[in-house]
C-alpha cells in the first residue's frame, strides 16, 4: 500500500519516460528544454542505466566504408544517407548540449582496417565520399595505409586503412554521467530500481505500473504522456514490436606502457571495434561468431567470443606488445529487420523510441529529440 501523500506527490507527472539510457535521457532533456515547468519522471529498473548506454565503446561514428557498402546492398541510397544524417545530427546535438569536455570527446583518428576480403571497398571510396558529401560537407574517407606499420598492427592481416575525417571518440561513462546531471539540473526526477511492469493508455492519460521492491507490490504512476525508451528490452512492454536483442562482448586491458596507437578502429564490416583509452585498449565485437547465443537480453559472457577477441588482440592488434586483460563485460543492443530505429506514437499518449541498431551513441540524442516532439502537448 502507498500513502495519500505518496500518491499525491510522488506518482503524478506530466511526462514519464521509461528507461534512462541515452535515448530516454535525451527525451527528458528535450522536454525540459522546451517546457521548463513540466513535471518529468524517468523510471529506470537498474541502480544506474543498465542496457547499452553505459556499456558501449564510445565511438562517435557515422559509419565505416564496409558497413555503408553492406547497407547499400540492402537499402536504397537515400535511406543510407538519411541514417548517416541522423548519426551526424545526433552527435552534433550531444556535443552542443553537454560540451566536449564534459563528455570526454576527442578526435584522435578514426579508421577502418581492411583485410584481404574487404579490399573490394577501396574502388568504392569515391562513390561513398560523393554520397556522404551533402551530409558531412567534406571528404569523409581517405586512404591511410601507413598507419598499419606506424601503429604496430599485423600487416599480414590488415592490408589497408581508411580514415574517416568526421568521427571521434568519447568517454562513455563521463557522457552518461553528464547527461544524467544535465536532466536533473533541468528538474527531471530520476527513480532507479523501478522496473515498469506494464502500462495502459486510457485516452485521458497513461497509467504506468511499477514494481516497488521495498513494498513488494505494484505501484501505479500516472502521466499525461509516456515515452518507452527501453531499446533491447522493449518487447517486455511492447510484445509485438519488430526487435531482437543483440548482446555485445567487450574486454579492456590494463594500461599498457607506450601503447603504439591512439584512436578508434573498426574491422570486419564493423563486427569488431577497438579503441585506446587512457593507455588501455578496449576491444569488442565478434557477435557474428555466435549470433544465436548473442540474441539474448542476459548479461552473460560468451567464452567463445571472448577467446576470439583475446586472440585477435594478441595476433593482429598488439602483436609486438605484451598486455593483460583487466575487465570483461557485456551490453545489450536492439536490432530488427531494418536498421532504422522505431520512432512512433504507439497509442495517443505513448511514444516509442527503440531499436538503435548499435548506433545509439550517435543517434540517441536526435532520436530522443524526435520522441519528445511526438509527446509535447
Ligand atoms: C558493447 C556495445 C558497444 C557499443 N558501441 C557503440 C559505439 O561505439 N557507438 C555507438 O554509436 N553505439 C554503440 N553501441 C550502441 C549504443 O550503446 C546503444 O545503441 C545505445 O546506448 C542505446 O541507448 P538506449 O537509451 O536506447 O538504450 P539503453 O542504453 O539500453 O537504455 C535502456 C534502459 O531501459 C532500462 N529498462 C529496460 N526495461 C525497463 C523496464 N521495464 N522498466 C524500467 N527500465 C527499463 C534499462 O535498464 C536501460 O537502462 C554499443 C552497444 C554495446 C552493447
pLDDT in tens, 32-60: 999 999 999 999 999 999 999 999 999 99
Confidence of residue 269 (pLDDT cuts 50, 70, 90): confident
Ligand 1 lined by 89 (C-beta under 6 Å): no
Provide the CATH number for the domain formed by 107-167+243-335 in this structure: 3.30.9.10
CA of 54 relative to ligand 1 center, distance in Å: 7
Delimiting residues of CATH 3.50.50.60 domain(s) in the chain = 4-54+174-239+340-375
CA of 39 relative to ligand 1 center, distance in Å: 24
Ligand 1 lined by 172 (C-beta under 6 Å): no
Delimiting residues of CATH 3.30.9.10 domain(s) in the chain = 107-167+243-335
Confidence of residue 201 (pLDDT cuts 50, 70, 90): very high
Ligand 1 lined by 67 (C-beta under 6 Å): no
Per-residue pLDDT at 158: 98
User: Nine-digit cell at 96?
Assistant: 552542443
Burial class (CB in 10 A: 0-12, 13-18, 19+), 27: buried
CA of 333 relative to ligand 1 center, distance in Å: 6
User: Nine-digit cell at 372?
Assistant: 519528445
Answer whether CATH 3.50.50.60 is correct for domain 4-54+174-239+340-375: yes
Angle at CA of residue 158, ends 165 and 108, nearest 5°: 30
**1 pLDDT higher than 90:** no
- pLDDT cut 90: percent of the chain above it: 98
Give yes or no for a contact between 84 and 137, defined as CB atoms under 8 angstroms apart: no
Ligand 1 lined by 356 (C-beta under 6 Å): yes
User: Nine-digit cell at 294?
Assistant: 548473442
Instruction: Report the chain's mean pLDDT, rounded to a whole number.
Output: 97
CA of 31 relative to ligand 1 center, distance in Å: 20
Ligand 1 lined by 234 (C-beta under 6 Å): no
Ligand 1 lined by 364 (C-beta under 6 Å): yes
Per-residue pLDDT at 70: 93
Neighbours of 291 (CB within 10 A): 10
pTM (two decimals): 0.97
Amino acid at each position: 500500500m502507498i500513502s495519500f501523500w505518496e500518491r499525491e506527490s510522488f506518482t503524478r507527472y506530466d511526462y514519464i519516460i521509461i528507461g534512462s539510457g541515452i535515448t530516454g535521457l535525451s527525451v527528458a532533456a528535450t522536454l525540459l528544454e522546451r517546457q521548463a515547468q513540466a513535471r518529468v519522471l524517468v523510471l529506470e529498473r537498474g541502480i544506474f542505466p543498465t542496457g547499452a548506454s553505459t556499456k558501449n565503446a564510445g565511438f562517435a561514428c557515422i559509419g565505416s566504408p564496409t558497413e555503408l557498402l553492406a547497407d547499400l546492398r540492402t537499402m536504397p541510397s537515400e535511406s543510407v544517407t538519411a541514417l548517416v544524417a541522423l548519426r551526424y545530427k545526433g552527435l552534433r546535438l550531444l556535443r552542443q548540449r553537454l560540451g566536449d569536455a564534459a563528455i570526454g570527446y576527442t578526435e584522435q583518428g578514426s579508421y577502418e582496417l581492411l583485410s584481404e576480403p574487404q579490399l573490394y571497398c577501396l574502388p568504392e571510396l569515391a562513390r561513398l565520399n560523393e554520397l556522404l558529401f551533402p551530409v558531412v560537407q567534406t571528404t569523409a574517407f581517405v586512404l591511410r595505409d601507413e598507419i598499419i606499420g606506424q601503429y604496430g598492427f599485423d600487416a599480414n592481416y590488415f592490408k589497408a586503412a581508411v580514415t574517416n575525417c568526421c568521427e571521434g571518440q568519447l568517454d562513455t561513462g563521463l557522457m552518461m554521467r553528464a547527461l544524467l546531471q544535465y536532466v536533473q539540473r533541468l528538474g527531471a526526477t530520476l527513480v532507479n530500481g523501478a522496473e515498469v511492469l506494464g502500462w495502459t493508455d486510457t485516452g485521458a492519460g497513461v497509467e504506468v505500473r511499477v514494481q516497488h521492491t521495498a513494498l513488494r507490490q505494484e505501484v501505479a504512476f500516472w502521466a499525461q504522456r509516456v515515452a518507452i525508451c527501453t531499446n533491447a528490452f522493449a518487447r517486455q512492454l511492447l510484445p509485438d514490436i519488430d526487435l531482437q536483442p543483440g548482446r555485445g562482448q567487450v574486454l579492456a586491458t590494463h594500461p599498457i606502457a607506450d601503447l603504439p596507437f591512439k584512436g578508434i578502429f573498426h574491422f570486419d564490416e564493423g563486427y569488431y571495434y577497438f579503441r585506446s583509452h587512457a593507455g588501455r585498449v578496449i576491444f569488442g565485437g565478434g557477435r557474428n561468431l555466435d549470433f544465436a547465443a548473442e540474441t539474448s537480453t542476459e548479461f552473460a559472457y560468451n567464452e567463445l567470443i571472448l577467446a576470439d577477441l583475446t586472440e585477435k588482440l594478441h595476433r593482429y592488434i598488439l602483436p609486438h606488445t605484451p598486455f593483460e586483460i583487466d575487465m570483461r563485460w557485456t551490453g545489450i543492443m536492439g536490432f530488427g529487420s531494418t536498421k532504422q530505429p522505431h520512432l512512433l506514437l504507439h497509442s495517443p499518449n505513448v511514444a516509442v523510441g527503440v531499436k538503435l541498431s548499435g548506433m545509439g551513441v550517435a543517434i540517441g540524442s536526435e532520436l530522443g529529440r524526435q520522441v519528445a516532439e511526438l509527446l509535447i502537448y
